[in-house]
């Protein structure tokens, strides 16, 4: 199982049998899309159009299974929702014994029922760019502390190659706010349970 980061909130999670692509909205930001034929394309906010050539396009909560991978979409409050709205979807992906949670632009206060829905997480991918558009590093760290993953990976921060609707904070600023040194900086991450500790570790994925 490999995890790679492509900019914004777009990440891919791959096995030999299937590739999951999350939030490939890169074309709308001036970047190049990464989705290709046969991918399973998932979006953390509404995306009514099916991705051309995709095996599946998912943008709503529910239970899904493809090529031996279990995917559970959990409905939650988006960052800019009102208190009663729930327009975002988090995805918990189970590949063998590894549990991955991909969240988009969510409101950084999760209820006890949402935390119970999420359960145990090995790897958490979480936006950190802030400025009112998504979680800032403080909100992201709050979510990390609530979920207690083995590893968390920051996404959606300033990128000179992408034209964000709202300017984002830099990764360096986020790392300073976390007050943590990355365990690893890599272009491709593979979670190894034997290397996990009781303390949550920070991994930085270089954009590919």
Residue 185 lies in a domain: yes
Domain count within the chain: 1
> What would the pLDDT profile of 147-184 be if each residue is shown by its tens digit?
999 999 999 999 999 999 999 999 999 999 999 999 99
Residue 21 lies in a domain: no
Residue 176 lies in a domain: yes
Residue 144 lies in a domain: yes
Residue 128 lies in a domain: yes
Name the residue range of residue 129's domain: 61-205
> What would the pLDDT profile of 43-89 be if each residue is shown by its tens digit?
999 987 889 999 999 999 999 999 999 999 999 999 888 888 888 99
* pTM (predicted TM-score): 0.95
Residue 98 lies in a domain: yes
CA dihedral over 193, 135, 57, 4, signed as positive or negative: negative
Residue 119 lies in a domain: yes
CATH number, position 131: 3.60.15.10
> What would the pLDDT profile of 86-108 be if each residue is shown by its tens digit?
889 999 999 999 999 999 999 98
State the DSSP string of the chain: -EEEE-STT-EEEE-SS-EEEE---GGGGTS-----TT-EEE-SS---SPPTT-SEEE-S-EEEEETTEEEEEEEE-BTT--TT---EEEEEEEETTEEEEE--SB-S---HHHHHHH---SEEEEE---TTTS--HHHHHHHHHHH--SEEEEES---TTS--SS----HHHHHHHHT---SEEESSB---GGG--SS-EEEEEPB-
Residue 112 lies in a domain: yes
């Amino acid at each position: 199982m490999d995890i790679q980061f492509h900019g914004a909130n777009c990440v891919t999670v791959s096995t030999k049998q299937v590739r999951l692509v999350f939030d490939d909205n890169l074309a709308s930001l001036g970047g190049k899309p990464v989705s290709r034929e046969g991918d399973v394309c998932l979006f953390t906010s509404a995306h009514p159009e099916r991705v051309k050539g995709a095996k599946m396009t998912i943008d709503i909560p529910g239970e899904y299974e493809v090529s031996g991978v279990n995917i559970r979409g959990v409905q939650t409050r988006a960052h800019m929702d009102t208190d009663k709205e729930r327009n975002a979807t988090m995805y918990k992906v189970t590949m063998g014994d590894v549990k991955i949670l991909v969240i988009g632009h969510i409101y950084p206060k999760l209820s006890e029922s949402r935390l119970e829905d999420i359960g145990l997480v090995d790897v958490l991918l979480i936006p950190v760019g802030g400025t009112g558009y998504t979680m800032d590093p403080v909100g992201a760290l709050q979510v990390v502390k609530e979920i207690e993953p083995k590893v968390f990976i920051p996404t959606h921060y300033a990128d000179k190659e992408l034209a964000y609707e709202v300017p984002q904070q830099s990764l360096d600023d986020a790392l300073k706010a976390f007050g943590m040194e990355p365990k690893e900086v890599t272009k491709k991450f593979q979670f190894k349970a034997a290397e996990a500790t009781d303390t949550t570790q920070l991994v930085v994925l270089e954009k590919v």
